[in-house]
Structure 1
């Protein structure tokens, strides 16, 4: 019967785990809907703003973008790693930390690299191997454009004062609840447009004021929007990954519970059979 007691305890424990994972799945599903709507609505705006800025820059002199377009010899790089503050979301956080490590080992072997960690989980892991110069774990407590813009301004200042020659963002792009794609985007300097017809800009738009003034005003806004989109993408990906992970955990717990129930019933049946045999054997002994 001691064995039966142990199985009962395991079944009770698994049922409690199922309740927790099921509740977390429902919470993440509710948060995912809001986060998904936000990033879906923002992507067209962000893409069009970036496209407009790149097209305008292509028609101007190479130094038209000012300090944010200055190409320098890359000797010091800052990687902005966007993860989450909490775990239980499958491989969401580990995919970013692995991506960052791979970038450093393959792309910046002989270059000084620092980490700007947005999210506690990524910062904790990367700090064991690399220099994490700053952590911003509070951004997810109140994820607004103004709060993200303050971080973007800090990054822009680090580039302008030549603290870093290149800044890249590493984050998870939301595709659907089950799929998150690790992405690497160049934040600064502004990446020039690849190919395209620069003359098309002159015929598609009427500029007021001048193109130079528009580019100068658009660049900070575009950079802030780029960072905000990346964090929003990561935020939606986190809830999608957590919902999927908790769904799988609930399914696994259900399967394990069913197996233990079957084992328990078999053991209980065997124990009852043994008791009956002992009673019958005792009765036969008394007859003899």
Structure 2
């Protein structure tokens, strides 16, 4: 049975941890609010642009392909946006599982973003070859983004795996083809028969999409991942606070029981002492 000193020491330690968790929770909430409105506003708009991008690519392949574009045909890259640190709940784990399942079923090159991802790859897929890039968890540096995109633009199809924010209590692992292919492939056949007139030439339109919009859409997935991770961290920290409060309550109850036992023992000792003198 724990002594009063042990109970008090454990309770003090838990309260100190709770103060630290509360601070992390406040930081996570601030970061989440900072990116939430921007991410949700851009999500629908960029989803529509991705669909248009797919239509442009489809019409281009029906006409003429440059030698450079022919080199990309059939080349697919799967990009997993992980994290650089822990305490993000289970969303990183679940997005990794989606990424691993895709690689098992499809022929694709692998790219991992985030230091935590390299550790998980070493543990789960030690034989898988992949390229690694580093992006911050709480911001996107233009130089880092350009470095990643320079590599990704070698591929015809770019599929990004990340966590997506649905609500504060619900973040889901998601796969998005930022190259526009997947959305167009899922369209009914009759919708694919539409013909378009392009002004300027279709090559210039596609070049604009690849040079500007593809980077923008990939950056959106990075921001989506950040939002989901902050929300997941907030929920994980909230659960931690609840667990700490529960444990502190148990310790308080244990302290009360211990005091009652000590008081009862003192009372019995007094009674025993009185009996000896009578």
TM-score range, shorter chain: 0.7 to 0.9
Residue in structure 2 matched with residue 80 of structure 1 by the alignment: 79
The residue correspondences of 1:75-154 to structure 2 (distance < 5 A) are: 78-105=77-104, 107-108=105-106, 111=107, 114-128=109-123, 129-130=125-126, 131-140=128-137, 142-144=139-141, 147-154=144-151
Residue in structure 2 matched with residue 221 of structure 1 by the alignment: 212
Instruction: For 2:202 and 2:111, locate their aligned partners in 1 and report how far apart those are by CA, in whole Å.
Output: 33
Instruction: For 1:65 and 1:255, locate their aligned partners in 2 and report how far apart those are by CA, in whole Å.
Output: 65
Residue in structure 2 matched with residue 71 of structure 1 by the alignment: 73
Residue in structure 1 matched with residue 201 of structure 2 by the alignment: 210
What is the DSSP-based 3-state SS (H/G/I as helix, E as strand, rest coil) of the residue aligned with 1:127? helix
- Please, what TM-score do these two structures have when normalized by structure 1? 0.82
| CA deviation string 1:205-226 (max 9, x = no partner) | x743223321222123232122
Gaps of 5+ in 1: 161-165
- Please, what TM-score do these two structures have when normalized by structure 2? 0.85
Instruction: For 2:181 and 2:273, locate their aligned partners in 1 and report how far apart those are by CA, in whole Å.
Output: 91
| CA deviation string 1:8-58 (max 9, x = no partner) | 121111111211111111110110011112212322332232122223334
What is the DSSP-based 3-state SS (H/G/I as helix, E as strand, rest coil) of the residue aligned with 1:171? strand
| CA deviation string 1:90-146 (max 9, x = no partner) | 1022112222233334x14xx5x6532111212211123233533323444641455
Matched-pair contact (CA < 8 Å) for 1:88–1:245:
yes
Q: Which runs of 4+ in 1 moved over 6 A?
A: none
Residue in structure 2 matched with residue 163 of structure 1 by the alignment: none
| CA deviation string 1:132-184 (max 9, x = no partner) | 53332344464145532331121113x37xxxxx6432111111222111112
Quick one: structure 1 residues 68 and 283, their matched pair in 2 at CA, closer, same or farther if it must change by over 3 Å?
farther
Instruction: For 1:184 and 1:132, locate their aligned partners in 2 and report how far apart those are by CA, in whole Å.
Output: 20
Matched-pair contact (CA < 8 Å) for 1:68–1:189:
no
Quick one: structure 1 residues 63 and 185, their matched pair in 2 at CA, closer, same or farther if it must change by over 3 Å?
farther
**Structure 1 residue 237 displacement after superposition:** 0.5
Residue in structure 2 matched with residue 36 of structure 1 by the alignment: 36
**Structure 1 residue 286 displacement after superposition:** 2.1
Instruction: For 1:78 and 1:211, locate their aligned partners in 2 and report how far apart those are by CA, in whole Å.
Output: 25
Instruction: For 1:63 and 1:217, locate their aligned partners in 2 and report how far apart those are by CA, in whole Å.
Output: 18
Residue in structure 1 matched with residue 263 of structure 2 by the alignment: 272
